[in-house]
A and B are shown apart, each in its own frame.
Chain A
């Protein structure tokens, strides 16, 4: 029976080793002084890296939110908003560092490598259980895009789109919006990127794309030359869709970012940036059920 004993000893040793290897990491205490107001300066200990603001977004970063897939150029709505927030917090242009954060990874548990993530992320109560959200910086409506020669180009109501083959992008709230509002007779197709959606539309694999209005405007203007914006519809029975900045759960910086966004809203900067980068939606017909 000595073999059994050896085996037992070996496995016990393995368990001990594993336990030693997996010893908990010491929690770094980045808590600001427990006074009333959080430290919102460029040297705040709550930052991912002191002295710089680390901002994340996914790659590829699409227009009209970013331009040329280069978030650091300050062009595109979300790039401009990020720099405006940074400015309000007291960071210079060159103190803002951009990192790539795939969407599906942005809500992973554990340490994050950014201060906030700006990636057209809709705020929902369910999502807020996993991460922190800032206040809203944009209110998005869903819109329907099809081709000129499509049978659905003249649709004036959501009901008229019932039999269309709809394409949406994965991880967007558009998918749920289509199911709840359009109630399509066929299952929507779900694509990884906007590019795949556009290709499927050109190939005739789907009849229409549903995504947020600014993206639809951009696609109709630059990606497709025979596109037709059918109309827009509000989501979830009238509650608009709000985009927020994503921060790590219980981040020390959430209140700071919210203060900055509040200031940008009250001094009119947000409104200015919205009209500068995102087309006016006034002339797009509203689709009713």
Chain B
């Protein structure tokens, strides 16, 4: 409601006035809740610590611990390998960022084609369906091999020969199929009434898609989309088979050269450092979406 011009008395809505004081009972409740929360936090922390210490003790007390320690947790080895790993990981990040944009575009195209209804577009729909079926079914590693060694072997003008570019192409082909399906589910999850309402308001077909359908569709499938991107981030390591030195390959070289597995651990830490924030973010979005839905149903 717009109170801009009317001189209606302002009701305090947001800020409570200064005279408000919770009742004794309310304060009692709040105190109880606070203390309960504190107690729970302490218990949780203690249990976690006990569990971790117990697991650690079991590992350290095992007879082969010394060998495992020297083969997997060698600090000097990690320090020596880390610059290489970082340099390799930068390539992972680049591949991931470039691939992500291309995948979104291609996936959206596929999803849009698949939700069309016009009978004249049947061949396009068929092609999109076949594409999704094939590229979701083929193991990603095989695709990387096919694109990476097959494309250059064709000896065509203008095919890229950079291994990491070829790897990105393979990843895009594979993941666009997944993302296309996710987006299609999103488009189908928007209620038809939304579209009808938009058309009734005089929006064109394209405007309806852009301002009404797509925003809701993407919002509905954001968590699975992010999951796909976390998986993509890890799958950039598959491009290693084509020769470029990304993090996992750098780790493998160092590990196989020194007969020590610690560099792999370093590479894993780098991947985790990127995927965990992404995962947390996806979780938060999911929680917010759930709260929003409940709030709407409760209205």
Contact A196 B241 (CB under 8 A): yes
A139 touches B (CB below 8 Å) = no
A22, A103, A170, A206: which contacts B253 (Cβ < 8 A)? A170
Name which residue of chain B comes closest to A109, CB basis. Answer: B67
A8 touches B (CB below 8 Å) = yes
Report if A199-B58 is in contact (Cβ < 8 Å); known contacts: A107-B259, A190-B245: no
**CB proximity of A283 to chain B, nearest CB, Å:** 31
**CB proximity of B239 to chain A, nearest CB, Å:** 12
Contact B245 A204 (CB under 8 A): no
Report if A170-B256 is in contact (Cβ < 8 Å); known contacts: A190-B245, A203-B153: yes
- B residues less than 8 Å from A46 (CB atoms): none
Contact A15 B252 (CB under 8 A): no
B62, B70, B152, B261: which contacts A24 (Cβ < 8 A)? B62
**Which of A4, A110, A205 counts the most B-chain CB atoms under 10 A from its CB?**
A205
Contact B256 A171 (CB under 8 A): yes
Binary contact readout A1-43 vs B (1 if CB under 8 angstroms, 0 otherwise) = 0001001100100010011001011010000000000000000
Contact A18 B249 (CB under 8 A): no
**Which of A4, A109, A124, A206 counts the most B-chain CB atoms under 10 A from its CB?**
A109
A8, A203, A249: which contacts B149 (Cβ < 8 A)? A203
Report if A19-B58 is in contact (Cβ < 8 Å); known contacts: A27-B63, A189-B244: yes
Name which residue of chain B comes closest to A200, CB basis. Answer: B243
**CB proximity of A12 to chain B, nearest CB, Å:** 9
A11, A130, A200, A202: which contacts B259 (Cβ < 8 A)? A130
Contact A205 B51 (CB under 8 A): no
Chain A 193-210 interface residues, beta-carbon cutoff 8 Å to B: 196, 199-200, 202-206
- B residues less than 8 Å from A276 (CB atoms): none
Contact B257 A176 (CB under 8 A): yes
Binary contact readout A236-258 vs B (1 if CB under 8 angstroms, 0 otherwise) = 00000000000001000000000
Report if A131-B259 is in contact (Cβ < 8 Å); known contacts: A104-B252, A109-B67: yes
A49 touches B (CB below 8 Å) = no
**CB proximity of A117 to chain B, nearest CB, Å:** 12
A192 touches B (CB below 8 Å) = yes
**CB proximity of B251 to chain A, nearest CB, Å:** 11
CA A187 to CA B261, docked complex, whole Å: 23
Binary contact readout B127-139 vs A (1 if CB under 8 angstroms, 0 otherwise) = 0000000000000
CA A190 to CA B244, docked complex, whole Å: 7
- A residues less than 8 Å from B58 (CB atoms): 18-19, 22
**CB proximity of A146 to chain B, nearest CB, Å:** 16
B161 touches A (CB below 8 Å) = yes
CA A24 to CA B60, docked complex, whole Å: 11
- B residues less than 8 Å from A22 (CB atoms): 58, 62
Name which residue of chain B comes closest to A14, CB basis. Answer: B51
CA A162 to CA B94, docked complex, whole Å: 27
**CB proximity of A249 to chain B, nearest CB, Å:** 8
CA A130 to CA B67, docked complex, whole Å: 8
B258 touches A (CB below 8 Å) = yes
B163 touches A (CB below 8 Å) = yes
B260 touches A (CB below 8 Å) = yes
CA A124 to CA B256, docked complex, whole Å: 11
Name which residue of chain B comes closest to A195, CB basis. Answer: B149
B71, B240, B245: which contacts A109 (Cβ < 8 A)? B71
B99 touches A (CB below 8 Å) = no
A8, A15, A175, A200: which contacts B54 (Cβ < 8 A)? A15
- B residues less than 8 Å from A126 (CB atoms): 257-260
- B residues less than 8 Å from A130 (CB atoms): 70-71, 259-260
Name which residue of chain B comes closest to A187, CB basis. Answer: B245
A266 touches B (CB below 8 Å) = no
CA A19 to CA B51, docked complex, whole Å: 12
CA A199 to CA B152, docked complex, whole Å: 10
Name which residue of chain B comes closest to A189, CB basis. Answer: B243
Name which residue of chain B comes closest to A246, CB basis. Answer: B259
Q: Contacts A25-B63, A110-B64, A190-B240 known; list 20 others, CB within 8 Å.
A: A8-B47, A18-B55, A19-B54, A24-B62, A104-B252, A109-B64, A126-B259, A127-B257, A127-B258, A131-B259, A171-B256, A173-B257, A189-B242, A189-B243, A189-B245, A190-B249, A191-B242, A196-B149, A202-B153, A206-B243
* 3 tightest A-B CB contacts, nearest first: A189-B243, A171-B256, A130-B259
